[in-house]
Structure 1
Amino acid sequence: MVTRAIETITRRTFLGSAAVEAFLASARSDEAGRPSRIIDTHTHFYDPTRPQGVPWPPRSEPLLYRRTLPQDLRQAVQGLGVTGTVVVEASPWLEDNQWLLNLAKEKKLIVGVVGHLEPGGPMFKSHLQRFTKDRRFRGIRIDGKMIATGLPQAAFIADLQRLADSDLELDVIGENEMLTDLVTLSDRVPYLRIVINHLPFDPPEEGNAGDKARNALGELGRRPRVYAKVSGVLRRIKGRVPLEVSFYRQRLDQLWDTFGVDRLVYGSNWPVSNLLAPYGAVLHVVREYFLAKGVEPAEKYFWKNSLAAYKWVDNP
Protein backbone atom coordinates (compact mmCIF):
# COMPACT_ATOMS: atom_id res chain seq x y z
CA MET A 1 0.00 0.00 0.00
CA VAL A 2 1.04 3.61 -0.44
CA THR A 3 2.45 4.86 2.86
CA ARG A 4 4.38 7.86 1.63
CA ALA A 5 3.41 10.75 -0.61
CA ILE A 6 4.93 9.89 -3.97
CA GLU A 7 4.24 11.16 -7.44
CA THR A 8 2.81 9.01 -10.19
CA ILE A 9 5.12 8.44 -13.12
CA THR A 10 4.79 6.31 -16.21
CA ARG A 11 7.20 3.63 -17.33
CA ARG A 12 7.76 5.48 -20.62
CA THR A 13 8.76 8.67 -18.78
CA PHE A 14 11.02 6.81 -16.39
CA LEU A 15 12.74 4.83 -19.09
CA GLY A 16 13.68 8.01 -20.87
CA SER A 17 16.79 8.02 -18.73
CA ALA A 18 19.82 6.34 -20.31
CA ALA A 19 21.03 5.47 -16.81
CA VAL A 20 17.86 3.51 -16.09
CA GLU A 21 18.11 1.70 -19.42
CA ALA A 22 21.65 0.68 -18.49
CA PHE A 23 20.53 -0.52 -15.06
CA LEU A 24 17.76 -2.64 -16.54
CA ALA A 25 20.03 -4.13 -19.19
CA SER A 26 22.58 -4.99 -16.51
CA ALA A 27 19.94 -6.55 -14.27
CA ARG A 28 18.75 -8.82 -17.06
CA SER A 29 22.10 -9.79 -18.54
CA ASP A 30 24.41 -10.38 -15.58
CA GLU A 31 23.82 -14.08 -14.94
CA ALA A 32 26.89 -14.43 -12.73
CA GLY A 33 25.87 -11.58 -10.47
CA ARG A 34 22.56 -12.93 -9.21
CA PRO A 35 21.44 -15.29 -6.45
CA SER A 36 20.34 -18.82 -7.28
CA ARG A 37 16.71 -17.80 -6.77
CA ILE A 38 14.73 -14.74 -5.77
CA ILE A 39 11.50 -14.87 -3.77
CA ASP A 40 9.74 -11.53 -3.74
CA THR A 41 7.87 -11.37 -0.42
CA HIS A 42 5.77 -8.31 -1.18
CA THR A 43 3.53 -8.10 -4.22
CA HIS A 44 -0.17 -7.31 -4.65
CA PHE A 45 -2.66 -8.87 -7.07
CA TYR A 46 -6.17 -7.54 -7.65
CA ASP A 47 -8.78 -7.07 -10.36
CA PRO A 48 -10.87 -3.87 -10.50
CA THR A 49 -12.85 -5.35 -13.40
CA ARG A 50 -14.55 -7.89 -11.11
CA PRO A 51 -18.28 -7.27 -10.62
CA GLN A 52 -17.63 -6.30 -6.99
CA GLY A 53 -14.58 -4.21 -7.87
CA VAL A 54 -11.80 -3.72 -5.31
CA PRO A 55 -11.46 -1.61 -2.14
CA TRP A 56 -7.83 -0.89 -3.01
CA PRO A 57 -6.17 0.65 -4.97
CA PRO A 58 -8.33 3.75 -5.43
CA ARG A 59 -9.44 5.00 -8.83
CA SER A 60 -7.39 8.12 -8.15
CA GLU A 61 -4.20 6.08 -8.79
CA PRO A 62 -4.50 5.33 -12.53
CA LEU A 63 -1.12 3.61 -12.71
CA LEU A 64 -2.29 1.11 -10.07
CA TYR A 65 -6.03 0.92 -10.69
CA ARG A 66 -5.91 -1.74 -13.37
CA ARG A 67 -6.09 -5.52 -13.56
CA THR A 68 -2.87 -6.78 -11.94
CA LEU A 69 -2.30 -10.53 -11.93
CA PRO A 70 0.58 -13.06 -11.82
CA GLN A 71 1.09 -12.92 -15.58
CA ASP A 72 1.72 -9.19 -15.27
CA LEU A 73 4.38 -9.82 -12.63
CA ARG A 74 5.96 -12.48 -14.83
CA GLN A 75 6.30 -9.94 -17.58
CA ALA A 76 7.77 -7.34 -15.20
CA VAL A 77 10.42 -9.74 -13.86
CA GLN A 78 11.29 -11.47 -17.12
CA GLY A 79 15.01 -12.20 -17.20
CA LEU A 80 15.59 -10.93 -13.65
CA GLY A 81 15.77 -14.27 -11.82
CA VAL A 82 12.60 -13.89 -9.72
CA THR A 83 11.24 -17.40 -9.18
CA GLY A 84 8.32 -16.88 -6.81
CA THR A 85 6.35 -14.44 -4.72
CA VAL A 86 4.58 -14.14 -1.41
CA VAL A 87 1.45 -12.08 -2.12
CA VAL A 88 0.17 -9.66 0.52
CA GLU A 89 -3.58 -9.05 0.62
CA ALA A 90 -4.29 -5.32 0.67
CA SER A 91 -8.07 -5.74 0.73
CA PRO A 92 -10.02 -5.89 4.01
CA TRP A 93 -12.76 -7.98 2.37
CA LEU A 94 -12.83 -11.48 3.85
CA GLU A 95 -13.46 -13.32 0.60
CA ASP A 96 -10.49 -11.67 -1.07
CA ASN A 97 -8.35 -14.01 1.04
CA GLN A 98 -9.97 -16.90 -0.80
CA TRP A 99 -9.65 -15.07 -4.11
CA LEU A 100 -5.87 -14.95 -3.65
CA LEU A 101 -5.70 -18.57 -2.52
CA ASN A 102 -7.64 -19.63 -5.61
CA LEU A 103 -5.20 -17.63 -7.71
CA ALA A 104 -2.29 -19.36 -5.96
CA LYS A 105 -3.69 -22.78 -6.86
CA GLU A 106 -3.61 -21.81 -10.52
CA LYS A 107 -0.29 -19.97 -10.63
CA LYS A 108 2.94 -21.66 -9.56
CA LEU A 109 4.60 -18.28 -9.19
CA ILE A 110 2.74 -17.76 -5.88
CA VAL A 111 4.50 -19.57 -3.02
CA GLY A 112 2.56 -17.97 -0.18
CA VAL A 113 -0.32 -15.68 0.72
CA VAL A 114 -0.38 -13.17 3.57
CA GLY A 115 -4.05 -12.60 4.25
CA HIS A 116 -6.14 -9.97 5.98
CA LEU A 117 -7.95 -10.99 9.17
CA GLU A 118 -8.65 -8.95 12.29
CA PRO A 119 -7.26 -10.40 15.53
CA GLY A 120 -9.61 -9.88 18.46
CA GLY A 121 -12.72 -10.14 16.30
CA PRO A 122 -15.41 -12.71 17.14
CA MET A 123 -14.83 -14.73 13.96
CA PHE A 124 -11.03 -14.70 13.88
CA LYS A 125 -10.60 -18.29 15.06
CA SER A 126 -13.03 -19.78 12.55
CA HIS A 127 -11.69 -17.67 9.69
CA LEU A 128 -8.13 -18.70 10.54
CA GLN A 129 -9.13 -22.37 10.65
CA ARG A 130 -10.81 -21.99 7.27
CA PHE A 131 -7.92 -20.41 5.43
CA THR A 132 -5.10 -22.42 7.01
CA LYS A 133 -6.53 -25.53 5.37
CA ASP A 134 -4.65 -24.21 2.35
CA ARG A 135 -0.92 -24.59 2.97
CA ARG A 136 -0.20 -21.47 0.94
CA PHE A 137 -1.84 -19.30 3.62
CA ARG A 138 1.25 -18.22 5.54
CA GLY A 139 0.10 -15.42 7.82
CA ILE A 140 -1.79 -12.15 8.08
CA ARG A 141 -0.99 -8.46 7.93
CA ILE A 142 -2.19 -5.76 10.32
CA ASP A 143 -1.27 -2.10 10.70
CA GLY A 144 0.19 -0.04 13.51
CA LYS A 145 -3.17 1.43 14.48
CA MET A 146 -4.65 -2.02 14.98
CA ILE A 147 -1.68 -3.02 17.11
CA ALA A 148 -1.99 0.08 19.33
CA THR A 149 -5.72 -0.51 19.77
CA GLY A 150 -5.40 -4.24 20.29
CA LEU A 151 -2.53 -4.50 22.77
CA PRO A 152 -4.74 -3.86 25.85
CA GLN A 153 -7.30 -6.44 24.69
CA ALA A 154 -6.97 -10.04 25.84
CA ALA A 155 -8.79 -11.38 22.77
CA PHE A 156 -6.34 -9.63 20.45
CA ILE A 157 -3.32 -11.16 22.19
CA ALA A 158 -5.00 -14.57 22.32
CA ASP A 159 -5.62 -14.51 18.58
CA LEU A 160 -2.02 -13.58 17.82
CA GLN A 161 -0.93 -16.42 20.11
CA ARG A 162 -3.24 -18.64 18.05
CA LEU A 163 -1.43 -17.40 14.94
CA ALA A 164 1.93 -18.32 16.46
CA ASP A 165 0.62 -21.73 17.58
CA SER A 166 -0.43 -22.35 13.96
CA ASP A 167 3.18 -21.71 12.87
CA LEU A 168 2.10 -18.63 10.91
CA GLU A 169 3.68 -15.19 10.77
CA LEU A 170 2.48 -11.61 11.24
CA ASP A 171 3.27 -8.89 8.70
CA VAL A 172 3.00 -5.37 10.13
CA ILE A 173 2.75 -2.08 8.27
CA GLY A 174 3.22 1.35 9.78
CA GLU A 175 5.86 3.96 10.51
CA ASN A 176 8.33 4.77 13.29
CA GLU A 177 5.53 5.37 15.80
CA MET A 178 4.61 1.67 15.59
CA LEU A 179 7.99 0.33 16.69
CA THR A 180 7.58 0.70 20.47
CA ASP A 181 4.26 -1.15 20.27
CA LEU A 182 5.99 -3.92 18.32
CA VAL A 183 8.44 -4.41 21.17
CA THR A 184 5.49 -4.81 23.54
CA LEU A 185 3.76 -7.19 21.13
CA SER A 186 6.91 -9.28 20.83
CA ASP A 187 7.07 -9.44 24.64
CA ARG A 188 3.45 -10.55 24.87
CA VAL A 189 3.66 -13.19 22.10
CA PRO A 190 7.36 -14.11 22.10
CA TYR A 191 7.14 -17.05 19.67
CA LEU A 192 5.29 -15.11 16.98
CA ARG A 193 7.32 -14.43 13.83
CA ILE A 194 6.94 -10.76 12.91
CA VAL A 195 7.89 -9.22 9.56
CA ILE A 196 8.13 -5.41 9.51
CA ASN A 197 7.03 -4.11 6.11
CA HIS A 198 8.64 -1.44 3.96
CA LEU A 199 11.90 -0.74 5.72
CA PRO A 200 13.90 1.43 5.81
CA PHE A 201 11.51 4.02 7.22
CA ASP A 202 12.28 7.69 6.90
CA PRO A 203 14.65 8.78 9.71
CA PRO A 204 12.67 9.48 12.91
CA GLU A 205 12.32 13.04 14.11
CA GLU A 206 14.72 14.42 16.66
CA GLY A 207 13.70 14.51 20.30
CA ASN A 208 12.08 12.03 22.65
CA ALA A 209 9.79 10.40 20.07
CA GLY A 210 12.67 9.86 17.68
CA ASP A 211 14.87 8.43 20.41
CA LYS A 212 12.12 5.98 21.35
CA ALA A 213 11.76 4.85 17.73
CA ARG A 214 15.51 4.35 17.29
CA ASN A 215 15.78 2.43 20.56
CA ALA A 216 12.76 0.30 19.69
CA LEU A 217 14.19 -0.63 16.29
CA GLY A 218 17.44 -1.61 17.97
CA GLU A 219 15.55 -3.76 20.46
CA LEU A 220 13.55 -5.43 17.68
CA GLY A 221 16.82 -6.17 15.94
CA ARG A 222 17.79 -8.28 18.95
CA ARG A 223 14.61 -10.37 18.76
CA PRO A 224 15.36 -13.56 16.79
CA ARG A 225 11.78 -13.86 15.46
CA VAL A 226 11.50 -10.30 14.15
CA TYR A 227 12.39 -9.81 10.48
CA ALA A 228 12.92 -6.66 8.42
CA LYS A 229 11.38 -6.62 4.96
CA VAL A 230 13.57 -4.32 2.86
CA SER A 231 10.79 -3.20 0.53
CA GLY A 232 10.80 0.57 0.89
CA VAL A 233 14.24 1.64 -0.27
CA LEU A 234 13.77 4.09 -3.15
CA ARG A 235 12.90 7.77 -2.61
CA ARG A 236 12.02 10.67 -4.85
CA ILE A 237 14.33 13.61 -4.15
CA LYS A 238 13.62 16.92 -5.89
CA GLY A 239 11.77 15.20 -8.71
CA ARG A 240 14.40 12.49 -9.23
CA VAL A 241 14.61 8.89 -8.02
CA PRO A 242 18.29 8.10 -7.38
CA LEU A 243 19.30 4.60 -8.49
CA GLU A 244 22.87 4.68 -7.22
CA VAL A 245 23.45 2.24 -4.38
CA SER A 246 25.64 4.83 -2.69
CA PHE A 247 22.64 7.10 -2.16
CA TYR A 248 20.88 4.46 -0.03
CA ARG A 249 23.91 2.82 1.54
CA GLN A 250 23.74 4.53 4.93
CA ARG A 251 20.18 3.42 5.66
CA LEU A 252 20.81 -0.06 4.29
CA ASP A 253 23.90 -0.31 6.47
CA GLN A 254 21.77 0.62 9.48
CA LEU A 255 19.37 -2.23 8.75
CA TRP A 256 22.27 -4.62 8.18
CA ASP A 257 23.85 -3.62 11.48
CA THR A 258 20.50 -3.90 13.30
CA PHE A 259 19.06 -7.15 11.93
CA GLY A 260 22.13 -8.94 10.63
CA VAL A 261 22.55 -11.44 7.84
CA ASP A 262 19.75 -13.79 8.95
CA ARG A 263 16.71 -11.50 9.29
CA LEU A 264 16.58 -9.23 6.26
CA VAL A 265 14.17 -10.30 3.51
CA TYR A 266 13.54 -9.07 -0.02
CA GLY A 267 10.30 -7.47 -1.14
CA SER A 268 9.58 -5.18 -4.08
CA ASN A 269 6.16 -3.77 -3.15
CA TRP A 270 5.17 -4.26 -6.78
CA PRO A 271 3.11 -2.80 -8.43
CA VAL A 272 3.18 0.15 -5.99
CA SER A 273 6.91 0.32 -6.70
CA ASN A 274 6.05 1.31 -10.28
CA LEU A 275 5.21 4.75 -8.91
CA LEU A 276 8.94 5.20 -8.39
CA ALA A 277 10.72 2.92 -10.86
CA PRO A 278 10.32 -0.20 -13.04
CA TYR A 279 10.85 -3.54 -11.31
CA GLY A 280 14.37 -4.05 -12.65
CA ALA A 281 15.57 -0.72 -11.29
CA VAL A 282 14.09 -1.44 -7.85
CA LEU A 283 15.81 -4.82 -7.79
CA HIS A 284 19.10 -3.40 -9.05
CA VAL A 285 19.73 -1.27 -5.97
CA VAL A 286 19.29 -4.03 -3.39
CA ARG A 287 20.93 -6.66 -5.57
CA GLU A 288 24.09 -4.58 -5.86
CA TYR A 289 24.12 -3.89 -2.13
CA PHE A 290 23.64 -7.48 -0.97
CA LEU A 291 25.86 -9.12 -3.59
CA ALA A 292 28.66 -6.90 -2.30
CA LYS A 293 28.19 -8.63 1.07
CA GLY A 294 29.00 -11.99 -0.49
CA VAL A 295 27.22 -14.93 -2.11
CA GLU A 296 25.73 -16.42 1.05
CA PRO A 297 24.39 -13.11 2.46
CA ALA A 298 22.72 -12.48 -0.90
CA GLU A 299 21.23 -15.98 -0.92
CA LYS A 300 19.85 -15.40 2.57
CA TYR A 301 18.40 -12.01 1.74
CA PHE A 302 16.77 -13.05 -1.52
CA TRP A 303 15.19 -16.32 -0.38
CA LYS A 304 16.60 -18.27 2.56
CA ASN A 305 15.56 -15.78 5.24
CA SER A 306 12.05 -15.48 3.82
CA LEU A 307 11.74 -19.26 3.92
CA ALA A 308 12.49 -19.09 7.66
CA ALA A 309 10.08 -16.19 8.19
CA TYR A 310 7.13 -17.33 6.07
CA LYS A 311 7.77 -21.05 5.61
CA TRP A 312 6.46 -20.59 2.07
CA VAL A 313 5.90 -23.63 -0.11
CA ASP A 314 7.13 -24.41 -3.58
CA ASN A 315 4.23 -25.33 -5.80
CA PRO A 316 4.60 -28.76 -7.45
Structure 2
Amino acid sequence: HPLRLGRGHGGDTAAAAVTAVVVALLALPLVTLVVRSLRTPSGWGIDHYVALGTTGGRNALTVTVWTAAANSLRTALLATVLAVAVGGLVALVVSRRPRSRVGRRTVSVLDAVFMLPLGVSAVTVGFGFLITLDRPLGIPVDLRTSGLLVPIAQAVVAVPLVVRTVLPVLRAIDPRLREAAATLGAGPARVLAAVDVPIAARALGLAVGFAFAVSLGEFGATSFLARPDAPTLPVVIFRLIGRPGAQNYGMALAASVVLAVITAGIMAVAERLRGSADGSEF
Protein backbone atom coordinates (compact mmCIF):
# COMPACT_ATOMS: atom_id res chain seq x y z
CA HIS A 1 0.00 0.00 0.00
CA PRO A 2 2.11 2.96 -1.23
CA LEU A 3 -0.27 5.51 0.23
CA ARG A 4 -0.01 4.06 3.70
CA LEU A 5 3.75 3.80 3.44
CA GLY A 6 3.96 7.42 2.40
CA ARG A 7 1.89 8.56 5.33
CA GLY A 8 3.99 6.53 7.71
CA HIS A 9 7.19 7.99 6.31
CA GLY A 10 5.78 11.50 6.64
CA GLY A 11 4.80 10.84 10.25
CA ASP A 12 8.30 9.58 11.04
CA THR A 13 9.82 12.67 9.43
CA ALA A 14 7.60 14.98 11.47
CA ALA A 15 8.40 13.10 14.66
CA ALA A 16 12.12 13.28 13.91
CA ALA A 17 11.87 17.02 13.23
CA VAL A 18 10.02 17.68 16.48
CA THR A 19 12.53 15.55 18.38
CA ALA A 20 15.42 17.46 16.84
CA VAL A 21 13.87 20.79 17.84
CA VAL A 22 13.28 19.59 21.41
CA VAL A 23 16.84 18.26 21.70
CA ALA A 24 18.19 21.56 20.38
CA LEU A 25 16.13 23.55 22.88
CA LEU A 26 17.39 21.36 25.70
CA ALA A 27 21.01 21.26 24.62
CA LEU A 28 21.49 24.88 23.52
CA PRO A 29 21.29 26.47 27.01
CA LEU A 30 23.68 23.87 28.43
CA VAL A 31 26.17 24.27 25.60
CA THR A 32 25.97 28.05 25.97
CA LEU A 33 26.72 27.77 29.69
CA VAL A 34 29.77 25.59 29.04
CA VAL A 35 31.12 27.84 26.29
CA ARG A 36 30.68 31.06 28.26
CA SER A 37 32.13 29.51 31.41
CA LEU A 38 35.35 28.92 29.48
CA ARG A 39 35.44 32.44 28.04
CA THR A 40 37.65 34.80 30.05
CA PRO A 41 38.60 38.46 29.52
CA SER A 42 41.98 37.30 28.18
CA GLY A 43 40.62 34.54 25.95
CA TRP A 44 39.78 30.93 26.73
CA GLY A 45 40.63 29.14 29.94
CA ILE A 46 39.43 27.61 33.20
CA ASP A 47 39.90 30.76 35.27
CA HIS A 48 36.26 30.81 36.34
CA TYR A 49 36.51 27.22 37.58
CA VAL A 50 39.69 28.01 39.52
CA ALA A 51 37.86 30.95 41.13
CA LEU A 52 35.24 28.55 42.53
CA GLY A 53 37.67 28.00 45.40
CA THR A 54 37.23 31.63 46.47
CA THR A 55 34.32 33.65 47.85
CA GLY A 56 34.03 35.75 44.70
CA GLY A 57 34.73 39.37 43.95
CA ARG A 58 34.38 41.67 46.96
CA ASN A 59 33.57 38.60 49.07
CA ALA A 60 30.22 38.13 47.40
CA LEU A 61 29.80 34.79 49.20
CA THR A 62 30.21 33.63 52.78
CA VAL A 63 31.65 30.28 51.67
CA THR A 64 33.39 29.00 48.56
CA VAL A 65 31.41 27.38 45.76
CA TRP A 66 33.03 24.02 46.47
CA THR A 67 31.91 24.25 50.10
CA ALA A 68 28.39 25.03 48.90
CA ALA A 69 28.55 22.03 46.56
CA ALA A 70 29.53 19.80 49.49
CA ASN A 71 26.63 21.26 51.50
CA SER A 72 24.30 20.49 48.60
CA LEU A 73 25.45 16.88 48.40
CA ARG A 74 25.05 16.30 52.14
CA THR A 75 21.65 17.99 52.22
CA ALA A 76 20.43 16.14 49.13
CA LEU A 77 21.58 12.82 50.58
CA LEU A 78 19.60 13.35 53.78
CA ALA A 79 16.59 14.65 51.84
CA THR A 80 16.73 11.58 49.59
CA VAL A 81 16.70 9.21 52.57
CA LEU A 82 13.66 11.00 54.00
CA ALA A 83 11.84 11.22 50.66
CA VAL A 84 12.38 7.56 49.76
CA ALA A 85 11.38 6.37 53.23
CA VAL A 86 8.19 8.44 53.32
CA GLY A 87 7.39 8.10 49.62
CA GLY A 88 7.95 4.36 49.64
CA LEU A 89 5.58 3.89 52.58
CA VAL A 90 2.96 6.14 51.00
CA ALA A 91 3.21 4.25 47.69
CA LEU A 92 2.85 0.96 49.57
CA VAL A 93 -0.33 2.14 51.30
CA VAL A 94 -1.85 3.77 48.21
CA SER A 95 -1.13 0.70 46.07
CA ARG A 96 -3.48 -1.42 48.13
CA ARG A 97 -7.03 -2.01 46.85
CA PRO A 98 -9.45 -1.77 49.79
CA ARG A 99 -12.76 -3.54 49.27
CA SER A 100 -14.83 -0.97 51.16
CA ARG A 101 -15.90 2.28 49.57
CA VAL A 102 -14.63 4.28 52.54
CA GLY A 103 -11.25 2.59 52.27
CA ARG A 104 -10.95 3.38 48.56
CA ARG A 105 -11.89 6.99 49.15
CA THR A 106 -9.39 7.29 51.99
CA VAL A 107 -6.62 5.94 49.77
CA SER A 108 -7.56 8.42 47.01
CA VAL A 109 -7.49 11.34 49.45
CA LEU A 110 -4.11 10.22 50.83
CA ASP A 111 -2.72 9.99 47.31
CA ALA A 112 -3.95 13.51 46.50
CA VAL A 113 -2.55 14.98 49.72
CA PHE A 114 0.97 13.72 49.03
CA MET A 115 0.79 15.08 45.48
CA LEU A 116 0.17 18.63 46.72
CA PRO A 117 3.85 19.71 46.53
CA LEU A 118 3.63 19.14 42.75
CA GLY A 119 0.64 21.46 42.50
CA VAL A 120 2.02 24.35 44.54
CA SER A 121 5.25 26.28 44.17
CA ALA A 122 8.26 25.16 46.17
CA VAL A 123 8.48 28.79 47.29
CA THR A 124 5.11 28.29 48.98
CA VAL A 125 6.45 25.21 50.75
CA GLY A 126 9.54 27.09 51.97
CA PHE A 127 7.58 30.11 53.10
CA GLY A 128 5.13 27.84 54.91
CA PHE A 129 7.97 26.15 56.79
CA LEU A 130 9.46 29.55 57.64
CA ILE A 131 6.34 30.92 59.30
CA THR A 132 5.18 27.62 60.81
CA LEU A 133 8.37 26.72 62.66
CA ASP A 134 8.56 30.07 64.46
CA ARG A 135 7.16 28.98 67.85
CA PRO A 136 5.29 25.93 66.48
CA LEU A 137 2.09 25.16 68.38
CA GLY A 138 2.97 27.95 70.80
CA ILE A 139 6.14 26.19 71.96
CA PRO A 140 8.85 28.79 72.72
CA VAL A 141 11.31 27.19 70.29
CA ASP A 142 12.51 28.63 67.00
CA LEU A 143 13.26 25.75 64.64
CA ARG A 144 14.00 27.94 61.64
CA THR A 145 17.75 27.75 62.25
CA SER A 146 17.81 23.95 62.50
CA GLY A 147 20.12 22.20 60.09
CA LEU A 148 17.40 19.64 59.34
CA LEU A 149 14.96 22.23 58.00
CA VAL A 150 16.37 22.37 54.46
CA PRO A 151 16.56 18.56 53.99
CA ILE A 152 12.99 18.20 55.26
CA ALA A 153 11.72 20.87 52.87
CA GLN A 154 13.58 19.28 49.96
CA ALA A 155 12.19 15.88 50.91
CA VAL A 156 8.64 17.29 50.86
CA VAL A 157 9.25 18.48 47.30
CA ALA A 158 10.72 15.11 46.25
CA VAL A 159 8.16 12.78 47.89
CA PRO A 160 5.59 13.05 45.05
CA LEU A 161 8.20 11.94 42.51
CA VAL A 162 9.11 8.94 44.65
CA VAL A 163 5.46 7.97 44.99
CA ARG A 164 4.79 8.32 41.28
CA THR A 165 7.89 6.26 40.42
CA VAL A 166 7.21 3.36 42.79
CA LEU A 167 3.40 3.29 42.80
CA PRO A 168 2.83 1.88 39.28
CA VAL A 169 5.19 -1.01 40.00
CA LEU A 170 3.49 -1.88 43.28
CA ARG A 171 0.05 -1.69 41.67
CA ALA A 172 1.19 -4.03 38.91
CA ILE A 173 2.05 -6.81 41.38
CA ASP A 174 -0.42 -9.67 41.13
CA PRO A 175 -2.30 -9.86 44.46
CA ARG A 176 -2.23 -13.64 44.13
CA LEU A 177 1.52 -13.55 44.81
CA ARG A 178 0.91 -11.98 48.21
CA GLU A 179 -1.98 -14.37 48.87
CA ALA A 180 0.19 -17.36 48.00
CA ALA A 181 2.96 -16.16 50.33
CA ALA A 182 0.43 -15.63 53.12
CA THR A 183 -1.04 -19.10 52.52
CA LEU A 184 2.42 -20.58 52.97
CA GLY A 185 2.58 -19.02 56.41
CA ALA A 186 4.42 -15.74 55.72
CA GLY A 187 3.43 -12.80 57.90
CA PRO A 188 2.82 -9.30 56.51
CA ALA A 189 6.44 -8.26 57.00
CA ARG A 190 7.71 -11.44 55.32
CA VAL A 191 5.28 -10.96 52.41
CA LEU A 192 6.56 -7.41 51.99
CA ALA A 193 10.19 -8.54 52.03
CA ALA A 194 9.67 -11.57 49.77
CA VAL A 195 7.20 -10.18 47.23
CA ASP A 196 6.97 -6.37 47.13
CA VAL A 197 10.56 -5.34 47.80
CA PRO A 198 12.28 -7.55 45.18
CA ILE A 199 9.83 -6.51 42.46
CA ALA A 200 9.96 -2.81 43.34
CA ALA A 201 13.72 -2.70 44.00
CA ARG A 202 14.60 -1.27 40.59
CA ALA A 203 11.86 1.33 40.80
CA LEU A 204 13.18 2.31 44.23
CA GLY A 205 16.65 2.73 42.74
CA LEU A 206 15.24 5.04 40.09
CA ALA A 207 13.27 6.92 42.75
CA VAL A 208 16.50 7.45 44.70
CA GLY A 209 18.08 9.02 41.63
CA PHE A 210 15.11 11.28 40.98
CA ALA A 211 14.87 12.37 44.62
CA PHE A 212 18.60 13.10 44.83
CA ALA A 213 18.64 15.09 41.59
CA VAL A 214 15.56 17.11 42.54
CA SER A 215 16.91 17.83 46.02
CA LEU A 216 20.31 18.81 44.66
CA GLY A 217 18.85 21.41 42.29
CA GLU A 218 15.99 22.59 44.51
CA PHE A 219 15.99 26.38 44.91
CA GLY A 220 12.48 27.64 45.69
CA ALA A 221 12.10 26.33 49.24
CA THR A 222 15.83 26.27 49.97
CA SER A 223 16.22 29.99 49.18
CA PHE A 224 13.94 30.76 52.13
CA LEU A 225 15.46 28.31 54.58
CA ALA A 226 19.20 27.99 53.88
CA ARG A 227 21.40 29.55 56.53
CA PRO A 228 23.93 32.19 55.36
CA ASP A 229 26.83 30.02 56.53
CA ALA A 230 25.52 26.85 54.86
CA PRO A 231 24.12 27.75 51.43
CA THR A 232 23.50 25.17 48.74
CA LEU A 233 24.86 25.35 45.22
CA PRO A 234 21.69 26.79 43.59
CA VAL A 235 21.52 29.49 46.28
CA VAL A 236 25.17 30.38 45.71
CA ILE A 237 24.59 30.64 41.95
CA PHE A 238 21.70 33.02 42.57
CA ARG A 239 23.82 35.16 44.90
CA LEU A 240 26.65 35.35 42.38
CA ILE A 241 24.30 36.43 39.62
CA GLY A 242 22.92 39.16 41.86
CA ARG A 243 26.35 40.66 42.61
CA PRO A 244 28.12 42.99 40.16
CA GLY A 245 31.43 42.14 38.58
CA ALA A 246 32.73 39.96 35.76
CA GLN A 247 34.36 37.54 38.21
CA ASN A 248 31.08 36.83 40.00
CA TYR A 249 29.27 36.36 36.72
CA GLY A 250 31.92 33.97 35.43
CA MET A 251 31.83 32.02 38.68
CA ALA A 252 28.04 31.73 38.37
CA LEU A 253 28.48 30.24 34.89
CA ALA A 254 31.09 27.76 36.09
CA ALA A 255 29.04 26.80 39.15
CA SER A 256 26.02 26.19 36.93
CA VAL A 257 28.06 23.81 34.79
CA VAL A 258 29.26 21.97 37.90
CA LEU A 259 25.67 21.59 39.10
CA ALA A 260 24.57 20.33 35.68
CA VAL A 261 27.41 17.78 35.53
CA ILE A 262 26.64 16.42 39.01
CA THR A 263 22.93 16.18 38.25
CA ALA A 264 23.55 14.53 34.88
CA GLY A 265 25.83 11.98 36.53
CA ILE A 266 23.20 11.16 39.12
CA MET A 267 20.50 10.72 36.49
CA ALA A 268 22.82 8.54 34.40
CA VAL A 269 23.26 6.22 37.37
CA ALA A 270 19.49 6.27 37.96
CA GLU A 271 18.87 5.28 34.34
CA ARG A 272 21.21 2.33 34.80
CA LEU A 273 19.03 1.21 37.69
CA ARG A 274 15.86 1.33 35.63
CA GLY A 275 14.44 -1.96 34.50
CA SER A 276 14.15 -5.38 36.05
CA ALA A 277 16.95 -7.68 37.06
CA ASP A 278 16.80 -9.56 33.79
CA GLY A 279 17.31 -6.34 31.80
CA SER A 280 13.69 -5.60 30.92
CA GLU A 281 12.19 -2.24 31.68
CA PHE A 282 9.04 -1.26 33.50
Q: TM-score, normalised by structure 1?
A: 0.22
Q: TM-score, normalised by structure 2?
A: 0.24
Q: Which has the higher helix share?
A: 2
